Structure 1
Amino acid sequence: MFDVFSLPEGVIVSTQQKFSDDRGWLYEGYNISRCPTELRQLTISESDANTLRGMHVHYKRHDYVMVVSGALILGLVDMRPNSDSFRKSSCLILKPEEACTVYIPLGIGHGFAFQEKTRYLTGLSVAWSPEDEFLFRYDDPVLQFDWGVNEPILSEKDRNAGSFESAVRQYLEAASGSQGG
């Protein structure tokens, strides 16, 4: 499915134990004893085919992602200059039948693309805030992603996002300010 060595440092992909019978299946999507952070908010999203959301990075919030229906292409890139995996990027495809969850730590840029209508959950370690979201272009040359989506449907803010380098500067400035205050 994916090579864990290709992931940016700190990203955790977990395959949960899945229980199936004649009625269907279930898996435990979140258990605090197996996640590096406690979740404070849960968002449920639906995206249409050919939609692309992101890229963005957070300095206050960890994310935890799982797919409910459809398929999510998750692009990841390390934006922490002091990290051994700075600029390392990778893409994963998440589907509900694979029972995978992904933990995304602070400083890991991420975005989502969809080739089909998809529903997914995102757990947040702190409540969502626009001040904790720095955007950059999904097609920035640093990324070298194949999103698998031609002519993506973008929000206005994603269409007008800046460069990877600009987002790294914004992230560092905000992160250093939050540690000092």
Structure 2
Amino acid sequence: MDKLTVLYDVGGINGLCIIECRCFEDRRENLYETYNRQELIKKGLVAKFVQDNEAYSRKGVLRGFGVNTNVPQAKLIRVLSGKIFDVVIDLRPNSKTFMNSFSINLSASNKKQLYIPEGFGHAYLALEDSKVLFKVTAHFVPGDEIGFSWNSKAFNVNWPLSANEIIFSDKDRENPEFDIAMVM
């Protein structure tokens, strides 16, 4: 049996993947192998991750939308505790699914991971107090991220919490409405 299962092109979006881990159980413990580069390469995911980041968010915190432009990052998102509503938008101008969005609940209990290719807008909303691990393929470059409003009309995301329940950083609150010129 495979250690990892990869579901490709989820939501019909080329390159977007859900990774599910197999649990190894015995009377002592449950063990999940959450990342195995060799297994992922065998399955066609060759991203080379260079940095791990952890974010701790209280219930109601919304982070994003953001996309890195000059130094793009692919990401592998995993929830270590809690539950998030994760949203991605294909902002690759030459993609057949340009401007398409996909959302998923990721949680510590469902153990699903989301692989996001370079060139995607990304945001998530903490549905519970959450700890989120991001594996990224490029180091952060200050000033390289473009941010746009969480409720931009161009994407029509159906967020599971109302605006008055959401907690924003000043940066995310002030993000402008999405304009296609931002990514062209």
Shorter-chain TM range is: 0.7 to 0.9
Tell me whether 5-14 or 93-102 shows the greater mean CA deviation. Answer: 5-14
User: Which sections of structure 1, spanning at least 5 residues, go unmatched?
Assistant: 173-181
For the residue of structure 2 that corresponds to 1:148, the secondary structure is coil
Mapped pair 1:120 → 2:132: yes
**2: CA distance, partners of 1:156 / 1:146:** 22
**Structure 1 position 14, deviation (Å):** 1.1
Q: Aligned pair in 2 of structure 1 residues 23, 154: CA closer, same or farther (>3 Å)? A: farther
Task: From 49, 67, 70, give the equivalent of 1:57.
Answer: 67
Q: Aligned pair in 2 of structure 1 residues 24, 81: CA closer, same or farther (>3 Å)? A: same
Mapped pair 1:82 → 2:94: yes
**2: CA distance, partners of 1:56 / 1:120:** 16
User: Which sections of structure 2, spanning at least 5 residues, go unmatched?
Assistant: 1-6
**Paired position in structure 2 for 1:179:** none
RMSD: 2.0
Alignment of 1:138-149 (within 5 A): 138-149=150-161
Amino acid at match of 2:52: L
For the residue of structure 2 that corresponds to 1:169, the secondary structure is helix
TM-score normalised according to structure 2 size: 0.83
Q: Aligned pair in 2 of structure 1 residues 100, 5: CA closer, same or farther (>3 Å)? A: closer
For the residue of structure 2 that corresponds to 1:130, the secondary structure is coil
Alignment of 1:73-112 (within 5 A): 73-112=85-124
**2: CA distance, partners of 1:26 / 1:83:** 38
**1: CA distance, partners of 2:104 / 2:170:** 25
Tell me whether 104-113 or 11-20 shows the greater mean CA deviation. Answer: 11-20
Q: Aligned pair in 2 of structure 1 residues 130, 68: CA closer, same or farther (>3 Å)? A: same
**Structure 1 position 158, deviation (Å):** 0.5
**Structure 1 position 97, deviation (Å):** 2.4
Task: From 7, 11, 18, give the equivalent of 1:13.
Answer: 18
Q: Percent identity among equivalent residues?
A: 27
**1: CA distance, partners of 2:8 / 2:155:** 17
**Paired position in structure 2 for 1:157:** 171
8 A Cα contact 2:8 2:16, kept in partner:
no
**2: CA distance, partners of 1:133 / 1:8:** 22
TM-score normalised according to structure 1 size: 0.85
**2: CA distance, partners of 1:121 / 1:5:** 21
Amino acid at match of 1:121: L
Amino acid at match of 2:85: I
8 A Cα contact 1:16 1:29, kept in partner:
yes
Q: Aligned pair in 2 of structure 1 residues 4, 23: CA closer, same or farther (>3 Å)? A: farther
8 A Cα contact 1:55 1:136, kept in partner:
yes
